């Protein structure tokens, strides 16, 4: 197991280096002067030169790249031009709200997908199965940035049950989590259904039944662990949509997370902050994928053995 | 049987949408860019079933105009991504060894950007335009196709008919065209059918965030973003473009499911 973790950790470093390099290339090589974008084309020449020097853009490209890499290794993401604060500090301040939202939406997705997915698999072709499939198709088609406003109309403006926006207590997270969790639950439900459909007719479950185990124990202990692997795969594959969904959901509900920060920093043309946020989100994605890989190993001994060979 | 019904429903949805965008001027005689301030935020009425936006423009004609842009972007990105992905994937799978290693590590890096994050990063430095959105979405769209093509080529090149073609002295071009491409085309069609839906959602997402299509041009995403400010007084601004996105994506996904079942029954 230790070998598996070490191997994955070593593979992580070149990928993070690649991510940083692509982000650097996007913001430095693409035609157009960032100074123009920040100050506007009509700014005074002296102001332009001063900002160029302050941002280190007067140096040759390779030098800028090495300086940037060196700073990043030291944990320095630079300083936000607009907010006059360290980029990393700004991101860390906002990250808690984003994690809260992402975690809650996963919980929402699990709460919707597991009961419906398992129930559908237990009675394929039934009305419940057809309705669940229909919900999954709808859930996978409705965009987050539309579902959010619709939920606001129904449950905030219409009934006043939940706040329209912001982050103030547990009631404020319900609608954003539901918005973000809906599409995830659709994919998850399909996966749980097909996974359980494959597991349920297997002999070891018939043996468990013959031994007199309760239906609940058979489903939640014996079938669940075996059906888990593809479900974790789909969850880790969906993390990408979840993280970008976070950016949109945070914008819809004015949720003060990293996603909203990135959009605000784009509007303010605060490129240092944009770079920092993109690298941060990509790194979180890479690390969660690594954790999913490790979890496979823990759940399925065959993977551990294969990796050790 | 159930899956065939799914495909038919998806096909009908997309056909109706295509016909509606093609004959948009017959469905709604209003100009999607015609401003009529006296009609600002007016509710649906006879001849204008979707109502009016804040500048008094007809929402039906704007959603149909948005459909043209969304479908154009969705299909263009898929076509560009398939071409790049097929080229890169073939190169990696066919050559193997070091080129394969290098290309795969590059795709690993692109895959480390979740969803449309790279497109968001790119659009933050590019000027918003249809062309730049296509560039931004294609910049990471090709990766999935490259991986798919590579894996198919890796298995195909060991097959007897390819080995026989090599032994006969066939050129690389001939092997690719006659033996490899014909065998990967069905997988590409399956992947591409889902790709169009994904790109339509991505374009709408970018436009919603203010990084895609800009005013006065109509885009489903920017129409929803604009409507968000008037949720209380004019929910129809948000409702109709969103419904159209949902139906389009649903139609494309159902068609994709059907195409997959038809071309690759094993899945």
Per-residue model confidence (pLDDT) at position A125: 85
Residues of B engaging A, defined by a Cβ cutoff of 8 Å: 105-106, 108-110, 112-118, 120-122, 124-126, 197, 201, 204-205, 208-211, 221, 224-225, 227-228, 231-232, 235, 238-239, 241-242, 245-247, 249-250, 253-254
Reference A284, options A247, A248, A255, A250; nearest CA is A247
Contacts of B209 in chain A (CB under 8 A): 247-248, 251, 263
Is the C-alpha dihedral spanning A114, A120, A121, A122 positive or negative?
A: positive
Which tokens go with A222? Answer: 């014996």
Residue B40 φ/ψ, nearest 5 degrees: -50, 125
Per-residue model confidence (pLDDT) at position B265: 60
Instruction: Give the residue ranges of chain B where pLDDT is below 50.
Output: none
Per-residue model confidence (pLDDT) at position A253: 94
Q: Find the length of chain B.
A: 267
Closest residue in A to B132 (Cα–Cα): A30
User: A94-130: per-residue pLDDT in tens?
Assistant: 999 999 999 999 999 999 999 999 999 988 888 999 8
Reference B49, options B66, B69, B34, B29; nearest CA is B29
Which residues does A97 contact at the CB level (< 8 Å), separation at least 6?
A167, A250, A255, A256, A257, A258
Burial A116-154 (b: 16+ CB within 10 A, else e): bbbbbbbeeeeeebeebbebbbebbbbbbbbbbbbbbbe
Q: Which helix (H) or strand (E) holds A85?
A: none
Per-residue model confidence (pLDDT) at position B67: 94
Per-residue model confidence (pLDDT) at position A113: 92
With 0-12 / 13-18 / 19 or more C-beta atoms within 10 angstroms meaning exposed / middle / buried, residue A198 is: middle
Name the more confident of A56 and A174.
Answer: A174
Reference A131, options A151, A115, A142, A111; nearest CA is A115
Name the more confident of B128 and A294.
Answer: B128
User: A237-288: per-residue pLDDT in tens?
Assistant: 787 778 888 999 999 999 999 999 999 998 887 888 999 999 999 999 888 8
| A166: helix, strand or coil | coil
pTM of the predicted structure, to 2 decimals = 0.89
CA A180 – CA A39 distance, rounded (Å)? 36
ipTM for the complex shown: 0.88
Residue A86 φ/ψ, nearest 5 degrees: -65, 135
Q: Within an 8 Å CB–CB cutoff, is residue A248 touching chain B? A: yes
Contacts of B101 in chain A (CB under 8 A): none
CA A274 – CA A262 distance, rounded (Å)? 6
Reference B229, options A165, A260, A160, A179; nearest CA is A165
Of B108, B205, B250, the CB nearest to A145: B205
Residue-wise DSSP of chain B:
-HHHHHHHHHHHHHHHHHHHHHTHHHH--S-TT---GGGTTPPPBTTBTT-B-TT--BHHHHHHHHHHHHHHHHHHHHHHHHHHHHHHHHHHHHH-HHHHHHHHHHHHHHHTS-TTHHHHHHHHHSPP-HHHHHHHHHHHHHHHHHHHHHHHHHHHTTSHHHHHHHHTT--HHHIIIIIIHHHHHHHHHHHHHHHHHHHHHHHHHHHHTTSSS-TTS--HHHHHHHHGGGTTT-THHHHHHHHHHHHHHHHHHHHHHHHHHHH-TT-
Per-residue model confidence (pLDDT) at position B267: 54
Reference B60, options B71, B70, B81, B45; nearest CA is B45
Across the interface, whether the CB atoms of A141 and B249 are under 8 A apart is answered: yes
Of A32, A141, A248, the CB nearest to B246: A141
Cβ atoms of B15 and B208 closer than 8 Å: no
Per-residue model confidence (pLDDT) at position A229: 76
Which tokens go with B101? Answer: 């290693």
Task: Give the mean model confidence (pLDDT) for residues A119-144.
Answer: 89
CA B209 – CA A302 distance, rounded (Å)? 44
Per-residue model confidence (pLDDT) at position A181: 93
Per-residue model confidence (pLDDT) at position A39: 76
Across the interface, whether the CB atoms of A252 and B228 are under 8 A apart is answered: yes
Q: Within an 8 Å CB–CB cutoff, is residue A159 touching chain B? A: no
Hunting for tokens 């093509």 — which residue is that?
B149
Across the interface, whether the CB atoms of B225 and A145 are under 8 A apart is answered: yes
Which residues does A308 contact at the CB level (< 8 Å), separation at least 6?
A3, A4
Of A19, A145, A267, the CB nearest to B109: A19
Helix and strand numbers (H, E) in chain A are 14, 0
Widest distance between CA atoms in chain A: 85
């Amino acid at each position: 197991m230790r070998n598996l973790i070490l191997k994955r950790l070593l593979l992580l470093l070149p990928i993070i280096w690649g991510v940083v390099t692509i982000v650097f290339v996007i913001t430095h090589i693409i035609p157009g002067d960032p100074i123009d974008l920040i100050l506007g084309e009509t700014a005074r020449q002296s102001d332009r030169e001063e900002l160029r020097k302050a941002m280190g853009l007067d140096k040759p490209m390779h030098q800028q790249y090495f300086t940037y890499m060196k700073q990043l290794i030291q944990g320095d993401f630079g300083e936000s031009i607009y907010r006059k604060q360290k980029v990393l500090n700004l991101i860390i301040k906002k990250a808690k709200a984003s994690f809260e939202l992402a975690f809650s939406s996963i919980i929402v997705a699990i709460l919707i997908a597991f009961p419906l997915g398992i129930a559908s698999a237990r009675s394929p072709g039934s009305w419940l199965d057809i309705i669940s499939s229909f919900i999954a198709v709808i859930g996978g088609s409705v965009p987050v940035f539309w579902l959010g406003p619709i939920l606001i109309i129904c449950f905030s403006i219409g009934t006043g049950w939940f706040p329209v926006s912001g982050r103030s207590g547990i009631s404020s997270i319900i609608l954003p989590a539901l918005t973000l969790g809906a599409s995830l639950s659709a994919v998850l439900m399909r996966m749980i259904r097909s996974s359980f459909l494959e597991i349920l007719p297997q002999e070891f479950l018939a043996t468990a039944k013959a031994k007199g185990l309760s239906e609940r124990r058979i489903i939640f202990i014996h079938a669940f662990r075996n059906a888990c692997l593809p479900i974790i795969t789909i969850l880790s594959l969906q993390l990408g949509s979840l993280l970008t969904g976070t950016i949109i959901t945070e914008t819809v509900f004015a949720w003060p997370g990293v996603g909203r920060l990135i959009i605000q920093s784009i509007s303010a043309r605060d490129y240092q902050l944009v770079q920092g946020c993109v690298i941060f989100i990509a790194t979180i994605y890479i690390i969660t994928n690594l954790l999913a890989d490790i979890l496979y190993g823990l759940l399925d001994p065959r993977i551990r053995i294969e990796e050790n060979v | 049987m159930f899956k065939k019904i799914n495909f038919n429903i998806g096909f009908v949805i997309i056909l109706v949408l295509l016909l509606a965008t093609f004959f948009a001027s017959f469905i709604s005689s209003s100009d999607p860019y015609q401003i009529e301030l006296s009609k600002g935020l007016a509710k649906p009425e006879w001849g204008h079933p979707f109502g009016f936006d804040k500048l008094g423009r007809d929402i039906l004609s704007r959603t149909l105009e948005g459909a043209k842009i969304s479908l154009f972007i969705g299909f263009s990105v898929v076509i560009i991504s398939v071409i790049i992905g097929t080229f890169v994937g073939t190169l990696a799978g066919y050559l193997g060894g070091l080129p394969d290693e290098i290309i795969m590590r590059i795709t690993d890096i692109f895959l480390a950007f979740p969803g449309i994050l790279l497109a968001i990063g790119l659009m933050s430095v590019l000027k918003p335009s249809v062309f730049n959105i296509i560039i931004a979405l294609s910049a990471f769209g090709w990766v999935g196709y490259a991986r798919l093509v590579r894996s198919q080529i890796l298995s195909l090149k060991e097959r007897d008919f390819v080995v026989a073609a090599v032994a006969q002295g066939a050129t690389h071009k001939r092997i690719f065209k006659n033996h490899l491409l014909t065998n990967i085309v069905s997988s590409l069609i399956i992947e591409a059918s889902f790709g169009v839906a994904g790109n339509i959602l991505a374009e709408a997402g970018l436009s919603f965030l203010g990084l895609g299509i800009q005013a006065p041009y109509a885009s489903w995403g920017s129409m929803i973003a604009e409507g968000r400010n008037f949720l209380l007084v004019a929910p129809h601004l948000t409702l109709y473009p969103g419904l159209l996105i949902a139906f389009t994506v649903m139609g494309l996904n159902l068609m994709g499911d059907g195409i997959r079942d038809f071309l690759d029954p094993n899945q």
